[in-house]
Amino acid sequence: MLEFRDRILRGGLLGAAEPLSVKAESPRRWHGINVELLATPSWIQQNTPSLEDVETYKLDLSLDGGHVIRTIHCRNTLSDELLEVEVRYDIPPANDEDAKQQHRRNAMHRQREEAVLRSLDVVAAAEYRCKRAKLRHN
């Protein structure tokens, strides 16, 4: 793991936070992790309507070297608060994943992003919990 972290540091991939755009374009990857959010702007508008000005910053390697961390900043229009939250991504194994494994990992990472964003919108989080409860009872 230390070798991996050294490569990242030498490559200048860690550093000062710079905003990245939240676009629905095909995502670029950084060591197996999507640079752009997997939760699309349309998903954010539909499922977390009180969040505005969603910005993401450069990905950071965790201290243990096993995860990548992204910081998300946004404004909650209901409380008029500026919020910050982190999403933690699992780094794929050193040997390449096949398409099915990569698809599963992306789905898991997208669900983490969605859960973190939903947690910032209290109304959206409550609605989602109700919807999940109804599905379980049916």
Identify the pLDDT of residue 117. 95
- How many angstroms separate the Cα of 105 from the Cα of each of 1, 3, 19, 75, 129? 20, 23, 24, 28, 24
How crowded is the C-beta side of 84, counted as CA atoms within 13 Å?
4
Question: 16 is in which domain, residue-wise?
Answer: 2-137
Query: Along the chain (138 residues), what's the average pLDDT of each consecutive run of 10 residues?
Result: 42 42 51 86 93 91 90 94 94 83 92 94 83 81
Which pLDDT does position 52 carry in this prediction? 94
pTM of this structure = 0.72
Structurally, the chain folds into a number of domains equal to 1
CA distances from 96 to 12, 59, 67, 86, 101 (A): 23, 20, 17, 26, 9
pLDDT at 26: 40
Secondary structure of residue 26 in the 3-state scheme: coil
Q: What's the pLDDT at 9?
A: 42
Name the token pair of 135: 């599905």
For position 102, what pLDDT does the model report? Answer: 87
pLDDT number for residue 30: 74
- The one-letter code for the residue type at 42 is S
